[in-house]
Amino acid sequence: MLFMASLAGEIPIKSPRTRPRFEERLVRNVLKALKRNGFIGSKVWISGARLFVEASEGAERVIARVFGIHRVAKIRCLFEFDDLDELCRRVEECAREWVKGKKFALRVHRVGKHDFTSLDVAREAGAFLRKYSAGVDLENPEVEVFVEVRGRRVYIYTNHDVVEGPGGLPLGVEGRALVLFSGSTDSTVAAWLIAKRGVEVDMLHLIFMDKRSVDVALTIGRKLAREWLYGYSPKMYVVDLRDLVERARKLVGNSYLQPMLRVFMYIAASSIAANRGYDTIITGESLGQTPSQTLHDLRVVENLSSPAVPVIRPLIGLDKEDSVRLSRKLGLYELSSKTTEFSADVEGRTVTRIEETVLAEVLRRLNAREEISRRCLNPKIYELV
C-alpha cells in the first residue's frame, strides 16, 4: 500500500545545504517509527516536498506521529497518463463511487511541466464527476477528492484518507535537551513541544517525597517515547533527593520549600547536562502559574543555581488550559493528570516573593550544590523504549 505525506512547511524552504540533512533524518525517523510499530520491510523515499511510504494497512497512523510530517494520505488510486483527456477520464473511473449522491469538491495540485493548468484538470474532471454527485460545493463538501499530478503520474485520495501530522522538524536536527520531568501535564507537554522542534529529549526525574513517583514518571515517559520519540533511544535519569529535601524543610519551613526545591531541580539538571553533553535544560514552567514561577522568583532560582546550559521554558506564555488541551490531543492527559507535582506536597502558604539571601544561606548550610552534583554523577538510568 502506498502512502504520501506532505513535509512540514519549514523543511522544503531550507537552504540547499541544510535541506538534505533534514530530509535524510526524516526518512530515517519514519523507517524507525514503522519498524518500532511492527511495519517491517517498509520503503521510504522523498520526491520534492512529498514523502512516500510503501507499507501495510494502518501505517498512516504511525507516519502521522513523526515530527516533520504535515499530513499523510493513503493513496486510493495511482496511474500514469498521456494527455489531459485520459487523465480526467481516469479520475472519473477512480472517484465516481466516492462522490455518488454527495456534494463534492475536487482539489488539484500539479508539479512539473504540462500543457494544461490545475484549473483545467479541476474543471474537466469535475464535469465528468458531477453527473454522479449531488453537485459541487467548494465551501462545505461532503467529500473532497484530491488529485495530485506529479509529472506523468497521478495520485488520488479523499479527505477521509488523510491523517494530520504534528508538523515541526525531524527529531535529531537541533541537538539534545534534558527535560525536568515529573510526569505532570506541564512537563510532558514541554517535552513534546521541544521534541517537535527537532530536539532529542531525555528526562530527569527527581525523587522529592515519595519513591513511587518514579513508577508514575516512567509510565508516562515510556508512553510519550513509544508514541512520539522516534529515531533515537530516549532515556530517563532518576536521582533521589528525599533526605536533602527533609533537611531543607527543617531549615526554611514550608513557605520557602517550593522555591528551594526548584533550585535543587536546576542544580541537578545543570550537573547532568554538563556531564553528559546536553545543549539545554527544559522545564514545564508557565509564568505566574504557581507562586515560585514569577519572573522575579525564576530569576532568583537561576542566579542561585547558575545552570551550565540555557534553560528553555516552552510553556512560559501558555495558560494551564492550553497545556491540558494539548495533552488531551496527544492522548497523555489521563495519565499525566494523576501525577502529583512536588508543590502539592508542601503544606501551608508558599512565599510569593522569595529573598535570594534566604535560599543562598540554606544552600550553603546544606552544602547542596556539591551534594546534588555528587549524586548526579551516577544517576539511575532507565531506557524508555
3 state SS of 88 = helix
87, 123 in Cβ contact below 8 A? no
For residue 352, pLDDT beyond 80: no
Residue from 380, 376, 193 nearest 284 by CA: 193
Distance between CA atoms of residues 146 and 156, nearest Å: 6
Taking domain 82-151, whether its CATH number is 3.40.50.10140 is answered by: no
For residue 44, pLDDT beyond 90: yes
Question: Among all chains, which residue has been given the C-alpha cell 517535552?
Answer: 191
pLDDT of residue 344: 43
299 Cα distance to chain centroid? 28
pLDDT of residue 253: 83
Longest dimension (CA), the chain: 84
- What's the grid cell of residue 56? 501495510
Q: Kindly state the DSSP code that residue 288 receives in the 8-state scheme.
A: T
Average pLDDT score over residue span 358-363: 93
Q: pLDDT grade, residue 342 (50/70/90)?
A: very low
pLDDT of residue 290: 79
Interval 11-40: pLDDT, tens: 999 999 999 999 999 999 999 999 999 999
What kind of fold does domain 176-383 have according to CATH? Rossmann fold (3.40.50)
Interval 269-292: pLDDT, tens: 999 999 999 999 999 999 988 777
Q: CA torsion sign, 223 to 206 to 327 to 314?
A: negative
3 state SS of 248 = helix
Q: Kindly state the DSSP code that residue 22 receives in the 8-state scheme.
A: H
**Range list for CATH 3.30.2130.30 in the chain:** 82-151
For residue 346, pLDDT beyond 60: no
**Range list for CATH 3.30.70.1510 in the chain:** 2-76
The type of residue at 135 is G
CATH code for residues 2-76: 3.30.70.1510
- End-to-end CA gap in the chain: 27
Percent of the chain with pLDDT over 70: 97
Q: What φ, ψ does residue 247 adopt, rounded to 5°?
A: -65, -40
pLDDT of residue 337: 77
Average pLDDT score over residue span 180-194: 96
3 state SS of 201 = strand
Distance between CA atoms of residues 56 and 126, nearest Å: 31
Interval 80-131: pLDDT, tens: 999 999 999 999 999 999 999 999 999 999 999 999 999 999 999 999 999 9
6 Cα distance to chain centroid? 17
Average pLDDT score over residue span 310-317: 96
Residue from 297, 296, 308 nearest 263 by CA: 297
User: Going by C-beta distance under 8 Å and a sequence separation of 6 or more, which residues neighbour residue 335?
Assistant: 183, 219, 220, 223
**Range list for CATH 3.40.50.620 in the chain:** 176-383
For residue 10, pLDDT beyond 70: yes
User: Going by C-beta distance under 8 Å and a sequence separation of 6 or more, which residues neighbour residue 185?
Assistant: 284, 323, 324, 327, 332, 333, 336, 337, 339
Distance between CA atoms of residues 343 and 190, nearest Å: 18
User: Going by C-beta distance under 8 Å and a sequence separation of 6 or more, which residues neighbour residue 83?
Assistant: none
Question: Among all chains, which residue has been given the C-alpha cell 504540462?
Answer: 114
Interval 147-168: pLDDT, tens: 999 999 999 999 999 999 999 9
- What's the grid cell of residue 9? 512547511
Q: What φ, ψ does residue 288 adopt, rounded to 5°?
A: 80, 5
73 Cα distance to chain centroid? 20
